[in-house]
Structure 1
Amino acid sequence: MPDCLEPETMMREIVDLEGRIGELRQAAGMPEIDLRATLDAALVELELALTALRSVGTEHTNEAGRTASAETERRVLRTVFQDAPVPLFLLDRDTSVRRVNRQAAALLGTSPGYVSGKQFTAFCDLATRAALRSQLAGVVRTGRRRRVPVRFLGRDQPVDATVTLARVWIRGEPDPMVVAVATAGQETAVDEAAAAKAAKAKAAAAELRQADEDVAIATIVHRLDVLGSATELLLREPVFNETVAVRRCARVLATELAEWVIIDLVGSNGIGHPSQTPWQPGGRLDPVEAAIASGTLTRQVVMGPEDERSIEAAQSVEALVPGRDTLPHMVFTTRQSALRPHVEDLAVLGTAPDGQPVCASIGATSVLCVPVQDGDRCIGTITLASSGENGQFGLMDLTVVERLGRYLGLVIRAARLYRRRAEVAETLQKSLLPRRLPEIPGVALAARYTAATHGAEVGGDFYDVFRTKDGWGLVLGDVCGKGEDAAAVTATARHGVRLMSRQYGTPRDVMAAVNDALLEEDRFVTAVMTTLELRRDRVLVSLGIAGHPPAIVIRSDGVIRTSSRGGVPLGLFEDFEAGTDVLDLGVGDTLFLHSDGILEACDQNREEFGQERLLETLAATATEPVQSMLDAVQSALLEFCTGDLRDDVSMLALRVLPERF
C-alpha cells in the first residue's frame, strides 16, 4: 500500500510536482538531451501523481514494521557507508546531500564537507538534472529502486556514471531518505580486462602523481599568462578608452578561462560621465555617483560561444538588467567575490523574459563573480560562467579574476577622468572661439578649428572676426603651450586685440598694446592680424605679424602670393615691433590665415606636411566655395598624418565676392 498523504503533505507534493514538470519542459528544449531519459522521467511523474491520488484516505502502514526495517537499514549503512568501495550519497527527501563517503567526494574531485548540504543535482550537468530529479521523487514516493544515467561535473572534466537510487527509513527522521550508489562508466561484469586494469593501478600511481603535479604547475602558469595578457591589452593604448578596455578584458577571459563572460558597470557611457566630486555645479548629483548610490548596474558585454543557439542566448542575456536578487548585484553591493563551483539555483544570474533561468539558457553549472573596483568604489562586476566540460571554477580562477577586476576598475577610472577632462577642455576651448562669424558686406568668411588627437588639454589656438575703429578686423594666433594656463593667456590675447582695435586704427599699434598686456604672463603668443578697408571693387588689407606664419593670398586664377614675414611673438620684449604688410584683394581673391599646426603635422616617417603641400591644396580649390577650400585642406592634412594630429590646427579665410554693395 502507498503511504498515506496528509493534506499539507499533499500540497507540498503538488508544488514539487509542478516544479519538476517545469524543469522537464526546459530540459526537453536543450541540445543533446537524452529524450529517452526525459520520457522515462515524465512517466515516473505520472506514476507519482497516480500513487498520490490512490493514497488519499488510506491508513498508515504498520509503524512497528517500518521501524524495524529502518533500524536494520540504518545499521547496515553505519557499517558500510564510509568504507564502501563505491561512491555513496545519502540524500534527504528534498534531494539535498546529507552525507557522502570518501569515494563519492573523490569522484567529484572535492571534499565531503563541501558536498554536504548542497543539492545532489547541482553536481550533474544540466542535460540530466531534470530527469534525475523526477527519478529521485519516484524513489521517495514508491520505494522502488531505479538506475539513472548521469554525468557528474568533476573537478577537471565530467564523469559519466550510472546511479542506483534506493529509499531508506532512518529512525528519528520524519521523512524517508535516499541512498545513491554511483558506478563510473557503463555497468559491466568484472572480467579479465578489469583485473588487468586493477593490477596496473599501483604501478601507475607514481606516474599519476607526477602528472598531477605537472598539471598543477601548468595551471598556475596559464593563469599568470592570462593575467599578464589581459594587463597588457588594458594598458596598450596611450589614451584610455572605457569601451575598448571592457571588451578586451571580456575577450581574454572568454578565450582563456570561461565559456561565458558577463560584465556589468555603473556610471558607464550610457548613464553619464563621472566627476572628481559627487556634486556638479548647481548642486546636482553627478550621474555616476547617483548610479552607484542607487546600485543601478547596466549590462555592458556578454561574450559566449559563436554557435547560433549561443548567440541568441547572449542577446537575451544582454537585454537583462541585473536584478537585486542576482549574484552580480549581491557582489556589487557587498564588494565581496562569490564562487559557485556547482550551481544549485539556476536563477542565480537572473531569469529571462520567457521564464527560463539564465544559467539554463547558457548551460552554466559553475559561476564566479568578482567586483570591479577603482580603488575607492565598486563600479561593477565581472561574471564568468561555464558548463563544467573543462572542470569547475576554483580559488585560483577567483584570485586571477579578482586581480583583473581591480586592474579593469583602475583603467575605467582613468578613462572616465580623461573623458571628463576632455569635456571640460572642449567646453573651455569653445569659449575661446567665436560662436559664429559675423556677416561682412561683400565678403565670404569661413573658419575651422581642429583639436589635436592626443591629450585632453585646452589648445592655444584662437581666431576672431570683429569690428575695429574704422571697420573690420581679423586675428589668428597661437599661444605657447596647452592647458588652463595657456587658456588664460589665449583669452587675454583674443579679447585684448578686440578691445585695442576700438582704440587704435592700425594692426601695428593694436599688437603693441596687446604686447604690453602680455609681458607679465609666462607664455608668449604668435599672431597675425588684419584690418579691412572695403572699397567698391576691392578690399585693402593691412597686416600686422608677430612671429606667425605669413598670410596667404589665393588669386581667383589660382596664383598664390604670401605676405612678408616679420615681428617677434607677443609678450617677450618691451620694445616690441610688429612686422607689417599691405595686400590688395580683387573679386574672387581669398585671404587665408592659419596656425603652424598645419605646417608641422607629420606622417609616420616624421615628414612634415609643409608649406608646399598647403599651397598646392589651396591653388587646386581657388574657384571652390571658401568653406570647401578649408574642407580640402583639412582632408589633405588628416590623410597625410593618418588622423594623428600632434598640435591644434586653426584656419580663417576671407573671399571677396562679386556683389560688392
Structure 2
Amino acid sequence: MERGPTHGDDLSGPVFRASGPREAVPGRIPLAVVVVDSRGLVSHWSTGARRLFGAAREEAVGAPAVDLLPVGGALGTEEWDDHEDAPGGPGSLLRDLPESPPHGLAAPLGGATYPTAGRARMAAEAGQVDLLWWAYPLVGPGTERLLVLAADAATLPGVPADPAAGPAGRQRHAPGFALHTDFPGAGQLARRLPEILPNMSPRESARIVAQVLELGYPVLEISQQERVPVTPDWGVPRRVERHARLLRAVRAAEHDPRAAAAAAAELESDLEYAAVRERLEFLNEVSGRIGSSLDLTRTIQEVSEAVVPRFTDVAGTYLREQVVAGEGFPDGAPDATTLWHRVAVEHNDEPGRWDDVVPVGESMPFPVHTPFFQCMTTGQPVLIPRLTEELGNAIAAQFEKRDISPLINGRSLLVVPLKARTVVLGFMILLRHPERAEFNDMDRVTGAELAARAGLVLDNARMYTLQENVAETLQDSMLPQIAPRMPGCDTATRYLPGTRLGRVGGDWFDTIKLPGSRSALVVGDVMGHGLNSAAMMGQLRTAVQTMAAIDMPPAQLLRGLDDLAQRLGDTYLATCLYAVYDPIGQRLTLANAGHIPPVLVRAADGRSELLRLPTGAPIGVGGVPFEAVTVPVAPGDRLVLCTDGLVEVRGEDIGVGLAALVESAAHPAASMDDACDAVIRALNVTDDRKDDVALLMARLNGIPPESVAEWRLRLDPREVGRARRLAAEQLTDWGLASAVETARLLVSEVVTNAVQHAHTEQVVLRLVHTDALLCEVSDDDHALPQLLDAAPDDAFGRGLTVVSRLAREWGTSRTGTGKTVWFEQSLPGACRGPR
C-alpha cells in the first residue's frame, strides 16, 4: 500500500493475489490514498494520489474532493452511474450487497456501513487512464468521512488497457470487497493504514483501520469470477485479536462510557505494540536500502532518502574530512579543531532554502557550546524536543559565517552519531517541522539504532576506500614516470587497471637510458593479481633497471632476471620483453621471455607486422635459454609493446586480438598519445575487463649522422685542451654558440677524469645533438667515478660536483670494455638537429 508524503516516496503498493482456481499468486500494485472530511474537502493526499490524479498535495488538501476524484457514486456525482462497472451496475461486485443510497455516501444500514467501488476512465496528460477505486465511508469521532483507494489498472498484470476490450466473460476485471471472509495468506496481513495516514493521531488512524477491516478487504474480480484480495504486505504476521480489539475500543468509546477505560487501555497496549513494530520494521527497511554500494557519498544519500520525510523533515550528514578522503585519522574523540565535511542535506522544505546557508561540500569545525559538538565528543544522541527562539538563537550565535536560526527555530532537533567500533565517523542532524510531532525518547532510540547501522556501512565503505587508495598508491609508485622524449625516440604510454576485483596487478612498462644514446624499452606482466603480484612486479622492475645500468645485453638480462625470480620463490612467474634501440645505428635488439610479440609499423609504407621473435619461457621457469634478435629500423618507424590484457578476450583465440592490434597500430595519428588512444578504442577495452592493460609505444626517430660527432683522444693531459677546442668548434658549427662556455667546462672535467684513470685504450669523446646536447666520454677503466665532498684545501674531487651543478642530467654506466660517463646539457630554445 502506498505511503503518504511524510513517509518517503511511494513504493510498490499492496500485494494482490491474482488467482487461478483456488491458488493465490502474489503481485503488487501502487495505490493512491485520499481522505475526505465531512465537508467534502480533501484532508489527506498521498504521493500516489499526486502521481495518479496529477494534483500536488498543496493544491489538493483543502480542495473539494468532487473536483479531484472521478469516483462516481461515492461523492454524489452521476458521472459514471451508467458505466458497466459503476457501483451497483452490471460490472460491480456490489450487486450482491444491499443497495447503497444513490448519489452520496453510503449510509448506516443495520448498524453497519457499506463501501463502494468502481472502475472508470479518466483523462490525463499522458492520455486516458483506466481507473480502479474503492471508497470506505467512515464513522465515529473526528472529521474524516471517506477513505478512497485508487489504482491505475495498467499496473495490474493481465488487466486490459480498455475495460470493454477482449472477451468480457474471461478478461473483465472489476473492483469490489471481500466481506466477512478470509483469504489465503490473511495471516501475513500486517501492514496498517496508519503508515499511509501519517497526519492522523494513532487513535484516529486505528478507528479507520477497524472500519476497513470490518467493511471488507478491497478485491479484484478476474477471470472465472475469482475474488482476489488486495492486501497490504507488512512483512510480519499480525496479531489475530488485533481487529477485534480495535473494534471493541471504538465501539466502547461511542456507546458505553463505563467500558471505555478498559477498552482504551487495551487499545493503548495495542498501539504501543504497533508503534514498536513500526519502528523495527522501519529500521529493517532502511537497513535493506542502505549499503547497496561501497561509495561513501552514495551510502549517505541512501540513508538520507530513507529517513526524509518518513522519520524527519531535514537530515544533514557530516563526516570527518579524513573519512571522505579515505584516509586514517588520529585516535581519540574529536575536538573543536576537527573539520567536518557536509556530505548531504536532504529536506522537504521549499527548494533551495538550505542550499545557500548550509551548502553541501563545505568543511567546517563545530563550536564547543552546541548540541552537535556534544554529540560528536560523547558519541551519544542529543535530543531537544523543541528549539525555542531563545535557544535556537543561542546555538546560531556560535556560528560566525551564516545565520541558521531561521532554519532551526521552533523545530524538534535530534543529533545522532555515526559510529563504528566506538569511533565517531560523523553525525546526522535531524529536524522536524514545528507542526509535526516532536522527537521523543523512542525516536531517540530509533535514531541511534539507525545511525549505528549506517555507521557500520560507512565504516565498511571507508575501509574499502582506504584499501583502494593504498592499492592505487602502491600501483602508481611502482609504475615509472616515462619521459615523453628520449634520445632518438618519442614515447607514449597507457596503463589501465582491471576491475575492482583486480585493480592492483603486475603489469609494468619502463624506458631506460643506456650508454651510446641508446634506450631500453621494457614491458612485463607478472602472473596473477593483487598486492603480491604488484610487489613482485616492483622487484623485477628494479632488477631490470639495475642490470640495464651495467649495459647487460638483452638475452643476458633476461637470464639474470630468471635467476632472480627462482631465488625469490617458486610462485614468481612473469613474462617480459626487453628491447634496446640504437638511434645512431638504426637497429633494434630484442629478447622475449614468454611475452606476446611487439608490433612494428614501418614509416615508409604504413605496413604493420608482428615481429617474429624466439618466444622463450616465462621468467621464473628456469633452465630455458633466451635469444636476442636484431631488427633494422628506419626513422619514423613505430614500435608497439603491450601486455596480454589488451589483446586477450575471454572465449576468443588470442590471435584475433593480435590481428586487431596489428591493424589498429597501423592507423595514422596526429600524436603518439592519439595513437595510443586509437589502439585502446579499436581493441574495445571496456571498464568490465578483468585484467589490467599496459601499453608502450615508441616512435623511432633515429639520429642523423650530421648530429653526431666523435673523436678519439690519447691518454695525454694535453688532450683535455684539444677536447675543449673540438667541442667548442662543433657546437659553433651546430649553431649553439650560446652553449659553448658551459659545454667547454663540462667536457674538460669529464675528459680530465677519463685521461687520468684510463689504462691502455684511447678515450672516446662523443657529442650528440638532439633537443639537448648529450656528451659521452668512454674509457677502459671499470671503476665508476664517485661524487665526492671535497674540502677547501683538496686538490681533487670537484670535477663531478661541477658536472652535477651545471648539467641537466648526468650518470655513469659500465660497458663491456670499461665505463661511460655522460651528461646532458639543456639548449636554448630546445633546438633540434644541426643548422
Q: Which residue of 1 aligns with 2:305?
A: 251
| C-alpha deviation, 1:640, in angstroms | 4.8
Using a 3 Å threshold, how does the CA distance of structure 1 residues 651 and 571 change in structure 2: closer, same or farther? same
User: How many angstroms apart in 2 are the aligned matches of 1:454 and 1:633?
Assistant: 23
| 1:227 lines up with 2:275 in the alignment | no
| 1:569 lines up with 2:623 in the alignment | no
User: How many angstroms apart in 2 are the aligned matches of 1:627 and 1:340?
Assistant: 60
Using a 3 Å threshold, how does the CA distance of structure 1 residues 298 and 514 change in structure 2: closer, same or farther? closer
Please show how residues 96-111 of structure 1 align to structure 2 within 5 Å.
none
Q: What secondary structure is seen at the aligned counterpart in 2 of 1:467? A: strand
Residues 609 and 640 in structure 1, CA contact (< 8 A), matched pair in contact too? no
| C-alpha deviation, 1:368, in angstroms | 1.7
Please show how residues 493-642 of structure 1 align to structure 2 within 5 Å.
493-503=540-550, 505-521=552-568, 522-535=571-584, 539-556=586-603, 557-564=605-612, 566-573=615-622, 575-578=623-626, 580-600=628-648, 610-620=657-667, 622-635=668-681, 640-641=685-686
Aligned residues between the structures? 453
| C-alpha deviation, 1:527, in angstroms | 0.9
Could you tell which deviates more after superposition, 333-342 or 346-355? 346-355
Please show how residues 470-489 of structure 1 align to structure 2 within 5 Å.
471-489=518-536
User: How many angstroms apart in 2 are the aligned matches of 1:355 and 1:504?
Assistant: 64
User: How many angstroms apart in 1 are the aligned matches of 2:491 and 2:545?
Assistant: 18
Deviations 1:65-86 (A, max 9, x none): xxxxxxxxxxxxxxxxxxxxxx
Using a 3 Å threshold, how does the CA distance of structure 1 residues 609 and 323 change in structure 2: closer, same or farther? farther
Please show how residues 300-449 of structure 1 align to structure 2 within 5 Å.
300-308=343-351, 311-318=352-359, 322-344=366-388, 346-347=391-392, 350-351=395-396, 358=404, 360-361=406-407, 365-387=411-433, 389-437=435-483, 439-449=485-495
| C-alpha deviation, 1:380, in angstroms | 2.1
User: How many angstroms apart in 1 are the aligned matches of 2:650 and 2:442?
Assistant: 48
User: How many angstroms apart in 2 are the aligned matches of 1:394 and 1:203?
Assistant: 30
Deviations 1:3-59 (A, max 9, x none): xxxxxxxxxxxxxxxxxxxxxxxxxxxx9xxxxxxxxxxxxxxxxxxxxxxxxxxxx
User: How many angstroms apart in 1 are the aligned matches of 2:549 and 2:606?
Assistant: 35
More helix, by proportion: 1
Q: Which residue of 2 aligns with 1:25?
A: none
Q: Which amino acid aligns with 2:299?
A: A
| C-alpha deviation, 1:340, in angstroms | 3.1
Q: What secondary structure is seen at the aligned counterpart in 2 of 1:236? A: coil
| C-alpha deviation, 1:635, in angstroms | 4.4
Deviations 1:174-218 (A, max 9, x none): xxxxxxxxxxxxxxxxxxxxxx99658778888877876675555
User: How many angstroms apart in 2 are the aligned matches of 1:380 and 1:607?
Assistant: 50
User: How many angstroms apart in 1 are the aligned matches of 2:413 and 2:637?
Assistant: 71
| C-alpha deviation, 1:398, in angstroms | 2.6
What's the TM-score once normalised by structure 2's chain length? 0.48
User: How many angstroms apart in 1 are the aligned matches of 2:269 and 2:654?
Assistant: 57
Using a 3 Å threshold, how does the CA distance of structure 1 residues 218 and 576 change in structure 2: closer, same or farther? farther
Deviations 1:356-406 (A, max 9, x none): 974643565322221111213222212211125453333443333222322
Residues 508 and 537 in structure 2, CA contact (< 8 A), matched pair in contact too? yes
Q: What secondary structure is seen at the aligned counterpart in 1 of 2:625? A: coil
Q: RCO higher in 1 or 2 (8 Å CA, sep ≥ 6)?
A: 1
Q: Which amino acid aligns with 1:648?
A: D
Please show how residues 124-273 of structure 1 align to structure 2 within 5 Å.
199=255, 219-237=275-293, 240-268=294-322
User: How many angstroms apart in 2 are the aligned matches of 1:602 and 1:388?
Assistant: 61
| C-alpha deviation, 1:534, in angstroms | 2.7
User: How many angstroms apart in 1 are the aligned matches of 2:306 and 2:430?
Assistant: 12
What's the TM-score once normalised by structure 1's chain length? 0.59
| C-alpha deviation, 1:586, in angstroms | 2.7
Of residues 508, 515, 536, the one that matches 1:462 is 508
Residues 156 and 390 in structure 1, CA contact (< 8 A), matched pair in contact too? no
Q: What secondary structure is seen at the aligned counterpart in 2 of 1:312? A: coil
| C-alpha deviation, 1:325, in angstroms | 2.2
Q: What secondary structure is seen at the aligned counterpart in 2 of 1:586? A: coil
Q: Which residue of 1 aligns with 2:101?
A: none
| C-alpha deviation, 1:546, in angstroms | 1.2
Residues 327 and 348 in structure 1, CA contact (< 8 A), matched pair in contact too? no
Residues 350 and 357 in structure 1, CA contact (< 8 A), matched pair in contact too? no
| C-alpha deviation, 1:233, in angstroms | 4.0
Q: Which amino acid aligns with 1:315?
A: D
Deviations 1:518-556 (A, max 9, x none): 1022321111111223346xx322221111121112233
Q: What secondary structure is seen at the aligned counterpart in 2 of 1:303? A: strand
Q: Which residue of 1 aligns with 2:102?
A: none
User: How many angstroms apart in 1 are the aligned matches of 2:330 and 2:638?
Assistant: 49
Q: What secondary structure is seen at the aligned counterpart in 2 of 1:393? A: coil
User: How many angstroms apart in 2 are the aligned matches of 1:588 and 1:228?
Assistant: 66
Q: Which residue of 1 aligns with 2:701?
A: 657
Deviations 1:537-583 (A, max 9, x none): xx32222111112111223344331123612110122x022365443
Q: What secondary structure is seen at the aligned counterpart in 2 of 1:520? A: helix
Q: Which residue of 1 aligns with 2:342?
A: 299
Using a 3 Å threshold, how does the CA distance of structure 1 residues 465 and 244 change in structure 2: closer, same or farther? same
Residues 266 and 292 in structure 1, CA contact (< 8 A), matched pair in contact too? no
| C-alpha deviation, 1:265, in angstroms | 2.5
Using a 3 Å threshold, how does the CA distance of structure 1 residues 640 and 478 change in structure 2: closer, same or farther? closer
Using a 3 Å threshold, how does the CA distance of structure 1 residues 586 and 295 change in structure 2: closer, same or farther? closer
Residues 454 and 645 in structure 1, CA contact (< 8 A), matched pair in contact too? no
User: How many angstroms apart in 1 are the aligned matches of 2:255 and 2:354?
Assistant: 48
Residues 561 and 619 in structure 2, CA contact (< 8 A), matched pair in contact too? yes
More strand, by proportion: 2
Q: What secondary structure is seen at the aligned counterpart in 2 of 1:572? A: coil
Residues 541 and 583 in structure 1, CA contact (< 8 A), matched pair in contact too? yes
Q: Which amino acid aligns with 1:406?
A: A
Residues 326 and 347 in structure 1, CA contact (< 8 A), matched pair in contact too? no
| C-alpha deviation, 1:516, in angstroms | 0.5
Q: Which amino acid aligns with 2:376?
A: F
User: How many angstroms apart in 2 are the aligned matches of 1:455 and 1:358?
Assistant: 45
Residues 608 and 663 in structure 2, CA contact (< 8 A), matched pair in contact too? no
- Runs of 5+ in structure 1 lacking a partner? 1-30, 32-152, 159-195, 279-288
Using a 3 Å threshold, how does the CA distance of structure 1 residues 544 and 614 change in structure 2: closer, same or farther? same
Bigger Rg over Cα: 2
| C-alpha deviation, 1:229, in angstroms | 3.9
User: How many angstroms apart in 2 are the aligned matches of 1:625 and 1:314?
Assistant: 45
User: How many angstroms apart in 1 are the aligned matches of 2:277 and 2:655?
Assistant: 47
Deviations 1:140-185 (A, max 9, x none): xxxxxxxxxxxxx997699xxxxxxxxxxxxxxxxxxxxxxxxxxx
User: How many angstroms apart in 1 are the aligned matches of 2:420 and 2:387?
Assistant: 29
Residues 375 and 406 in structure 1, CA contact (< 8 A), matched pair in contact too? no
Q: What secondary structure is seen at the aligned counterpart in 2 of 1:479? A: strand
